[in-house]
Amino acid sequence: MNFIKRAWQNISFKKGRSLLLVIVMTVILVFIMAGLLIRNAAVTTVNNTKQQVGASVTLSANRDQAFKKMRSSTPPTSTSKTKKPSLSMPSVSLASVKKIAQLSGVANYNVSVATSANADSIDAISTSSASNNGPMGMSQSTSSGDLQITGVLNMKTLSDFKDNTNKITKGRALTSADVNTNNVVIESELAKQNDLRVGDTIKIKATTTGKKAYTLKVVGIYKASQSSSSSMGPQQSDPSNTLYTAYTLANQIKGQTNKVDSAVFTLSNPTQKTAFLKAAKKIINTKKFSLTADDSTYQALKQSMQKMESFANKIVWLVAIAGTVILALIIILMVRERRYEMGVLLSLGEKRTKIIGQLLVEMFMLLIVSLALAGIGGQFAGQALSKQVMSSVTTSTTTDSATTQPGGNGGPGGGQAPSGQPGGNRPGGQMTQGTQNKAKSIKASDLNLKINPLTLLQLGAFGFTIIAFAVLLASANILRLEPRKILIG
C-alpha cells in the first residue's frame, strides 16, 4: 500500500491528534521564526547602516611631534630675556587634502579653518565670568577676538549638524558652492540680539596683522544646543559667538592661503579604514601630520547588533533542541499507541523504512500547516521580543561606551575640530556624542522584521530538521517491533 496515502488518511481520521501536533509545532516554529527575524534584521541593519554612518578619518597636525620640537628648543634661563618656546602647529596643505579625497572609498570630505575676529557692526554675546583669568589661572590673550570663525567646506557633513546638536532654523547651510564667497551662517541668539535676518549683512574685523574689515552676508541661522566651553575667553566661550563661513574666507581672515587646520574624510565603508589609512599616509608627511580614524559609531552599532544576533541565535537553537525533544516524545507516545497498526503492516510485509517514512510524511504535512501559521504569528512575536532585547542591548552598549570612553579634551591629531566648537580638538571627540546618540536612536521599530522567502525557507529547513530528528529518535521503537508478538498479544 502507498505509505503516502496511508499518511494522509491517518491525518484525516485522527483530527484531534493532528490538531495537537499542529499546535505544538506552530508554537515551536513561532519562536524559531522570531529568532530568525531578529537575527536577519540585525545583520541587515548593520549592512544598511554601514553606508550611512561610515567611518571618519581626521587629518591634522601631529601634536606629539610639535611638542617634541618645542621641547627641543633651548629653554630660557632665569636671567635670559630669550622668549619662551611656543607650540607651533603646522597647517595642512589643501593640495594634500584634495589628493586624499580622490582615494577610493571616500564618500565625502570636509575641511576646517579656525580663527577669531572682532565684531564691528554687531554686538557679540557677552558671558559674565567670576574671573578674567583663563583655565589654570592663565590670563587671556588680548589678541583674541570676540567672535569664533569656523571655515568649512560643507556644513551638512559636520558631526554637530548630522547629530542635530546644532540645527539650521532659517535659511540654509553652507555648501561647496559657497567657496570664495563672504556668506556666513550665524547662531540664533546672536541674530536675535542684533535683530539680524537671512539676507542681512554684518561687518567684522580680523585680529591678524592689518585688522582688515570684512562684510559678510547672512545666508543661514542655526540653533546651538551645546553648553559653553571654559577653554576660551569669556565672550568666545559662548557658542552663540561661533560663525560658520567658507574655509576660503576663514583663510583670508587668518592671513593664509591654500591651507586648512584639519580635514575629515568620511569613508563609505568602515571596513576599508585600514586600506585607506595606508594609502593616505603615502601622501602626507607623517612626522608633521597625523591621521586619526574614528569608526566608533559603526563599532557601537555593530556591537549592539552582534549582541542581538547572538541572543537570537540562542533562541533559535534552544527552541530547536527543545522542540526536537518534545516532538520526539510525542511521536514515541504515538508509536506506542499505534503498535497494533504497525504490527499488522509489518506482518503483511511492509518494510520498517516505509513505516518510518509514513510518520515522516505525516509530520511533514502537518509542518506545512504550522509554517503558514508561524509565518503569521512569528512577526508579532519577533516585534514583541525585539523590544525587550533592544532595550537590554542598548543599555549594555551605552554602559560599555561610557566605561571605555577616553577622557580629556586632548588627543592625537589636535587642531580645531570640524564642528568649530571650542574644546572639540580631539578627532574622535565630536564623534563620541554622535555614537551615543546613534546607539540610543536605534529602536526595535527600526529593525526590518519583515518575512521574506529566505526567512520562510530557513524556517522550513529548521522545521524539517526538527521533525526528521524527532522521527529518527522515535524509530528505535519501530525497529524493535515484533509483528508476531504484537498480533498474539
Whole-angstrom distance between the N-terminal and C-terminal Cα of the chain?
25
Model pTM score: 0.58
Q: In the chain, where are the structural domains located?
A: 3-50+301-488, 55-72+86-127+141-294
Q: CA-to-CA distance for 368 and 375, rounded, in angstroms?
A: 11
Which residue is listed with cell 579634551? 409
- Is 256 in contact with 43 (CB distance < 8 Å)? no
pLDDT in tens, 273-292: 888 989 999 998 888 888 88
Cell triple for 84: 619662551
Sign of CA dihedral 481, 482, 484, 489: negative
pLDDT at 134: 41
Q: Collect all residues with Cβ–Cβ distance below 8 Å to 84 and sequence separation of at least 6.
A: 76
Displacement of CA 50 from its chain's centroid (Å): 7
Q: Is the pLDDT of residue 235 over 90?
A: no
CA distances from 240 to 126, 149, 188 (A): 10, 11, 7
- pLDDT category at 198 given cuts 50, 70, 90 is very high
Confidence of residue 395 (pLDDT cuts 50, 70, 90): low
The CA distance from 173 to 244, in Å, is 9
For residue 147, give the nearest of 109, 195, 194 by alpha carbon: 194
Q: Which H or E run contains 292? A: strand 289-294
Quick: pLDDT tens for 305-323. Answer: 777 778 778 878 888 888 8
The pLDDT value recorded for residue 60 is 82
Q: Residue 124 contacts by C-beta under 8 Å, 6 or more apart in sequence?
A: 146, 147, 190, 235, 241
E strand spans, 155-246: 166-171, 183-187, 201-206, 213-224, 242-246
- Beta bridge partners of residue 148, listed in sequence order: 116, 242
Contact 419, 117 (CB under 8 A): no
| C-beta of residue 298 within 8 angstroms of C-beta of residue 50 | yes
Q: Is the pLDDT of residue 464 over 80?
A: yes
Is residue 234's pLDDT more than 50?
A: no
Q: In whole angstroms, how far apart are CA 387 and each of 113, 159, 396?
A: 44, 28, 14
Mind listing the pLDDT tens digit for each residue in 343-371? 888 888 888 888 888 888 988 999 999 98
How many Å apart are CA 166 and CA 204, to the nearest integer?
A: 23
pLDDT above 70 covers a percentage of the chain that reads 70
Q: Which residues pair with residue 158 across a beta bridge?
A: none
Q: What is the pLDDT of residue 316?
A: 80
Say what the pLDDT of residue 268 is.
81
Distance between CA atoms of residues 467 and 455, nearest Å: 18
C-alpha 168/C-alpha 432 separation (Å) is 22
E-assigned strand segments in 29-71? 55-61
* CB-CB contact of 315 with 442 (8 Å): no
Residue 387: its pLDDT value, please?
63
Confidence of residue 407 (pLDDT cuts 50, 70, 90): very low
CA triplet 181, 232, 144: central angle to 5 degrees?
55
CB contact at 8 A, 417 and 264: no
Question: Does position 229 have pLDDT exceeding 60, yes or no?
Answer: no
For 86-117, the pLDDT digits (tens) are: 656 778 889 999 999 999 888 889 999 999 99
pLDDT band at 390 (very low <50, low <70, confident <90, very high): low
Determine how β-strand 166-171 pairs with β-strand 213-224: antiparallel
Average pLDDT, the chain: 76
Query: 411 vs 364, which has greater pLDDT?
Result: 364
pLDDT given at position 341: 81
> How far does Cα 54 stand from its chain's mean position?
8
pLDDT for residue 346: 82
Q: Which of 236, 240, 226, 228 is nearest to 191 (CA)?
A: 240
Q: Are 148 and 422 in contact (CB under 8 A)?
A: yes
Q: Which tens digits make up the pLDDT trace of 25-73?
A: 888 888 888 888 777 777 776 666 665 666 788 888 776 666 666 666 6
